[in-house]
Structure 1
Amino acid sequence: MYDYITIPVFLTGLVYSAYNNNWTNIVAAVVVFAVFMVFALKGGIAGGDVKFTTALAVWFGYPAILYVLLLGSILAVVFGLFNYQRLGVLRERVIVFVKGLFFKLIYKVNITPAKQLPEEGICEEAVPFGTFMVIAAWVIYFMGVI
């Protein structure tokens, strides 16, 4: 997500929540920001996802942001599986995942290889999480959860 979209969404949500004395939305945004920053520092997601999810949290609040995150994650996983199938690497990725999970749980050893270094650009297997967060946000909004 671009900052010229994310920052106004966050700021208007912040002003709206403060104006309506809805401090739980602001607390939810702080918690989401902290959790997603940990994910970003570990290399799982990009900074745009952190900012955009925080912006959604300040609008949706708790617990609706959890529904958005859950639905967005499910959609992203489904997309990722179809993408792996399209690239012809689904079977290989499932085997690596199961072996990696086994070694991590039993021996506390991380054996999952990095397919591409971060400085090499965007991998063709990458999943655009923000896109699925937008879809999930609209679905949750129109379902009337918030």
Structure 2
Amino acid sequence: EDLTGAIPEEFYHMESLAYLELGSNALSGTISSRIGRLSNLEWLSIFGNSFSGTLPTTLSNLTSLTYFSASRNDLTGPIPDKFYDLESLTSLKIQENALTGTISTLVGQLRSLGWFGIGGNFFTGTIPTELAEIE
């Protein structure tokens, strides 16, 4: 709980990394687009920090990702459409940020999703009926 600063660039060279748990610290900065280099990542938890900026579209490169938690940060902007390509994702926890926009109908592509935490943001529009396509 005492880690501060940004995620070091060296992390993005650890291509065999499968689990990254950095929750409940005082980390800050943006989520680098280089996160997409971690192609073996299955678990990414950065909740409870002070990350800002948008969710990088390169997260869609993490095709093995099953768990993503970025709750309780200062993230802004919409969920990128490419994010919905993460078909292995079973848990998506992005509540309590400042995310905006609508929940895309593409959410139906996340067929393995068992946890979809989006509360405490600034999303608008309706709940897509495509959510019913999730098993």
TM-score, L = length of structure 1 = 0.19
TM-score, L = length of structure 2 = 0.20
Bigger proportion of residues as helix: 1
Greater relative CO (CA pairs within 8 A, separation 6+):
1
